[in-house]
Amino acid sequence: MEKVALLFNPSSGKGRAAQNRRALQRCLREQGITYDWFESRHEDDLRDLVAVTAGDYPRLVAAGGDTTLLIVINELMRLKADNTLGMIGLGSCNDVVREFGIHTMKKACLAIRGGRTRPIDLGAVIEGKKVLYYYPGQASLGLAVLINQYVNQVVQRSPRLGKYQTLSGLRGGWQACRSAEMPIHLEVEHENGRASGEFMLAVFDNIRYYAAGRKALPQARPDDGRLDALLIRKCSFPRLAYLALLTPPAFYAEKKEALILQAPHFLVRAEKEFTVQIDGEVISQDGQPRSFRSLEFASVPRALNIIS
């Protein structure tokens, strides 16, 4: 097989990826994968590595978490490059690689050795006529953003608590429900109509998985030219916790709080400003979360070729 460019992000998984460096290199050797190793020092460096390698290597392999994949994919889209992307999940959630059945190091390396490729859709966050970001997994607003920010604050204060993300997430959800930022009054337009009301959460999925392995929308597919939306109406924290932890996703549609939609694109407007996260990363500007009143979330069909 042809040599690949291996783009390794040691800071993924809150720094745990660096501990898997030798294991990854051993796995690549065992599968007979020839590669050139490129290790990033920070996010801008990772973007530079994509630009440097895209012209010389038809196949790039991103080794890191969902954020690593997000950076690499957006740089490839910015370059309008047609490289094929391999993925090795070394992050905290790894929802994207889980979608394609390559969520272990060995499975990912086996896929790279096999070299089977497939085109997938990407989601896009659009402001006006400008695409702000592409994403392979999901975009969300409301409760998910507030929980993400709370968990990050907890981990910064005590890194050892990072492995108790479910507990931290519940605490963050309880605090978010009590804050003035929740719920959000949204108007969501799509090809089949319009939904409006006060919502705790809105997720626009390109894949089935969400929040470290939960199947938020089992019917979502990354190659159907559509996004799947899950909106949770205003409810109490106990009810929200029940929906999140004890309700099988296949039964969300039966719950009065849940609204499930599918469409090529959604236009979201709000009465007050909201922030957005894509694959776990809050959209920011100058180091601060960026606020919006209106955004479009759209599917971009067959936008990327991946190895799976």
First-last CA distance in the chain = 15
Q: 134 and 80: one domain?
A: no
Q: What is the pLDDT of residue 262?
A: 96
Q: Which one-letter DSSP state was computed for residue 66?
A: H
Q: What is the pLDDT of residue 259?
A: 92
Residue at 74 is within a domain:
yes
Q: 101 and 135: one domain?
A: no
Question: How far apart are alpha carbons 79 and 308 in whole angstroms?
Answer: 23
What burial class does residue 213 get, using C-beta atoms within 10 Å of its C-beta: 0-12 exposed, 13-18 middle, 19+ buried? Answer: exposed
Q: 238 and 280: one domain?
A: yes
Q: 62 and 171: one domain?
A: no
Tokens of 64: 């890191």
* Backbone dihedral region for residue 32 (phi beyond 0: left; psi -120 to 50: alpha; all else: beta): left
Examine residue 183 and say whether the peptide bond preceding it is cis (omega within 30 degrees of 0): yes
Predicted TM-score of the model (pTM):
0.89
Q: What is the pLDDT of residue 158?
A: 56
Q: 189 and 277: one domain?
A: yes
Question: Tokens 């009590």 identify what position?
Answer: 178
Per-residue pLDDT of the chain (308 residues; tens, 9 = 90+): 689 999 999 888 666 777 888 999 999 999 999 999 999 998 899 999 999 999 999 999 999 989 999 999 999 999 999 999 999 998 877 899 999 999 999 999 999 999 999 999 999 999 999 999 999 999 999 887 777 666 655 555 555 545 555 555 556 665 666 666 778 999 999 998 999 999 989 999 999 987 766 777 889 999 999 999 999 999 887 887 777 776 777 677 778 888 999 999 999 999 999 999 999 889 998 888 999 999 999 999 999 999 99
Residue at 56 is within a domain:
yes
Element (H, E) at 209: strand 209-210
- Domain final residue pick, 82, 115, 148: 115
Phi, psi of 90 (to 5 degrees): -125, 20
- Domain final residue pick, 115, 143, 170: 115
Q: 185 and 264: one domain?
A: yes
Question: How far apart are alpha carbons 119 and 253 in whole angstroms?
Answer: 29
Q: What is the pLDDT of residue 148?
A: 67
Q: What is the CATH number of the domain that holds 193?
A: 2.60.200.40
Q: 107 and 148: one domain?
A: no
Q: Which one-letter DSSP state was computed for residue 286?
A: T
Question: Tokens 């390396």 identify what position?
Answer: 109
Residue at 94 is within a domain:
yes
Q: 45 and 152: one domain?
A: no
Tokens of 129: 């006529």
Q: 84 and 27: one domain?
A: yes
Q: What is the CATH number of the domain that holds 51?
A: 3.40.50.10330
Question: What is the extent of the structural domain holding 92?
Answer: 4-115
Q: 18 and 73: one domain?
A: yes
Q: 136 and 267: one domain?
A: yes
Residue at 221 is within a domain:
yes
Residue at 120 is within a domain:
no
Where does 57-163 have alpha helices with state H?
66-79, 95-99, 105-114, 143-157
Q: How many domains does the chain have?
A: 2
Question: Tokens 């953003």 identify what position?
Answer: 145
Residue at 232 is within a domain:
yes
- Domain final residue pick, 65, 88, 115: 115
Q: 62 and 17: one domain?
A: yes
Residue at 96 is within a domain:
yes
Residue at 35 is within a domain:
yes
